């Protein structure tokens, strides 16, 4: 135990480099987890189980934004300690309870059978682990030990994913494997976090009522933004779940997965520039700010084009081989989805820009417009055009969001330049 604790805590030499490396590892693991699980299910037991798992995983992933409440970045940036850790912990417990109620109520409302409800409940349990652990990791990050938090997350994801895979290969039972997945995550998370929390003086298990309501109110726009974005990303899957088959759900999920690769790679490019762009804006260097913003957007677009080229030439064949599914007839749709992934990456970048220029309210307005379009059109388009309709409605929503955000940013930067 002492050796294990020593490895997780390490030393504070080159702490920024270690944090960056382990954050990258944990981010990649987190992004690829659903793809790995889907690969195992598809290869072992075919498309039907994979479709059931996809909608359950997707639903609980969206609900996890309620559990986390988007509070991690706020907590980490609370350098003046306006709110105590006990307040963050209390508010997180409340948001997790809300997540559980909303998630299971929605699942029952959708009329899912008992087996699907149990799978959703188990994966909701996994999200509880994600969100509860996150508040502790936020405090570690604020103490400049993101490396410790990222190590724990990396190990936990790896072990839980491996446990699911072994269980599913042996039992070929999705219900049992989801239970194993969640129970493993709970045990590993408790063990590893309790191993190190004693070394962080601000982390306590004492709950505090002071400031909880205020904290939840301040972070509400962030929570709503994250929830709406996740809804928009996953709305095509919900429409397929309502109108089409489990097999089509699996095929769409396979085609859709590389989109997150574009978003992940783009974030690695623009995240290091956030501080610099914030300085430029605050120092009123608007021309240089605009120039830097345009360069970052150009890089995202160029990256998207390269991935689109690779995807249409060999990517679709690799996916088909990996998952044992013939995807040849979806080559053009895959190309379009990759392009729409570029739009989603631009949305993520423009959210950062709107935050820097302190126009966060327009994030909600832009996402709200996308959601309205989805509500009005998605079922009709998916019913008529099936898997192609699911892809197109996603692209339409992301295009509208990019357009609204760009208009707001252009107007604001132009006003500042002229002023």
**Rounded to whole angstroms, how far apart are CA atoms 168 and 290?**
51
Q: In terms of residue numbers, what domain contains 170? A: 1-218
Closest CA to 268 of 29, 36, 71, 27: 27
**Rounded to whole angstroms, how far apart are CA atoms 224 and 70?**
8
Note whether 180 and 293 are same-domain residues: no
Tell me, yes or no, whether 102 lies in a domain.
yes
Note whether 274 and 126 are same-domain residues: no
Note whether 267 and 205 are same-domain residues: no
Tell me, yes or no, whether 336 lies in a domain.
yes
Q: What is the pLDDT of residues 107-131, one digit of tens each?
A: 998 888 888 999 999 999 999 999 9
Tell me, yes or no, whether 357 lies in a domain.
yes
Note whether 158 and 262 are same-domain residues: no
Is 12 in a helix, a strand, or coil?
coil
Query: What is the full per-residue pLDDT of the chain (419 aa) written as tens digits?
Result: 777 777 777 777 777 788 778 887 887 888 788 888 988 998 888 778 888 888 888 889 889 989 988 787 777 767 678 888 899 999 999 999 999 999 999 999 888 888 899 999 999 999 999 999 999 998 888 888 888 888 999 999 999 999 999 999 999 999 999 999 999 999 999 999 998 888 887 788 888 888 899 989 888 877 888 788 878 888 888 888 788 877 787 888 888 877 777 776 666 666 556 657 777 887 888 888 888 888 888 988 998 898 888 888 888 888 888 777 788 888 888 888 899 988 988 888 888 788 777 777 788 889 889 889 888 888 888 888 888 888 888 899 999 999 999 999 888 887 776 55
Q: What is the pLDDT of residues 221-267, one digit of tens each?
A: 778 887 888 788 888 888 887 888 777 878 888 888 777 777 766 66
Note whether 251 and 314 are same-domain residues: yes
DSSP H helix total and E strand total for the chain = 17, 0
Number of domains making up the chain: 2
Longest dimension (CA), the chain: 68
**Rounded to whole angstroms, how far apart are CA atoms 324 and 136?**
40
- Quote the distance between the C-alpha of residue 381 and its chain's center: 26
């Amino acid at each position: 135990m002492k050796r294990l604790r020593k490895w997780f805590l390490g030393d504070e030499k080159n702490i920024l480099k270690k944090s960056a490396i382990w954050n990258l590892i944990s981010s990649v693991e987190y992004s690829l987890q659903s793809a790995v699980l889907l690969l195992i299910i598809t290869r072992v037991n075919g498309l039907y189980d994979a479709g059931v798992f996809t909608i359950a995983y997707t639903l609980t992933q969206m609900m996890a934004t309620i559990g986390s409440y988007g509070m991690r970045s706020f907590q980490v940036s609370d350098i003046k300690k306006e709110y105590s850790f006990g307040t963050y912990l209390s508010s997180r417990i409340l948001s997790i309870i809300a997540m559980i109620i909303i998630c299971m109520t929605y699942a029952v409302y959708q009329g899912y059978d008992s087996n699907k409800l149990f799978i959703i409940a188990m994966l909701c349990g996994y999200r509880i682990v994600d969100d509860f652990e996150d508040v502790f990791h936020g405090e570690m990050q604020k103490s400049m030990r993101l490396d410790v938090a990222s190590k724990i997350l990396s190990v936990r994801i790896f072990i839980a994913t491996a446990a699911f895979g072994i269980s599913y290969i042996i039992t070929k039972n999705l219900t049992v494997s989801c239970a194993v997945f969640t129970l493993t995550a709970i045990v590993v998370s408790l063990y590893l976090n309790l191993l190190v929390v004693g070394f962080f003086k601000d982390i306590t298990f004492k709950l505090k009522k002071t400031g909880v309501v205020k904290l939840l109110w301040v972070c509400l726009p962030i929570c709503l933004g994250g929830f709406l974005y996740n809804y928009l990303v996953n709305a095509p899957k919900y429409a397929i779940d309502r109108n089409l088959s489990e097999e089509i759900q699996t095929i769409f999920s396979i085609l859709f997965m590389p989109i997150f690769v574009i978003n992940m790679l783009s974030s690695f490019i623009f995240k290091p520039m956030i501080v610099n762009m914030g300085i430029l804006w605050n120092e009123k260097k608007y021309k240089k700010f605009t120039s830097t913003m345009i360069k970052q957007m150009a890089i995202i677009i160029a990256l998207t084009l390269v991935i689109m080229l690779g995807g249409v030439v060999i990517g679709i064949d690799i996916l088909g081989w990996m998952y044992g599914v013939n995807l040849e007839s979806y080559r053009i749709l895959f190309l379009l989805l990759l392009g729409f992934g570029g739009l989603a990456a631009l949305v993520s970048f423009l959210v950062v820009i709107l935050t820097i220029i302190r126009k966060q309210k327009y994030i909600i307005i832009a996402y709200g417009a996308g959601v309205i379009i989805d509500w009005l059109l998605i079922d009709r388009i998916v019913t008529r055009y099936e898997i192609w309709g699911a892809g197109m409605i996603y692209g339409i929503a992301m295009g509208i969001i990019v357009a609204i955000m760009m208009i707001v940013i252009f107007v604001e930067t132009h006003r500042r330049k002229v002023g």
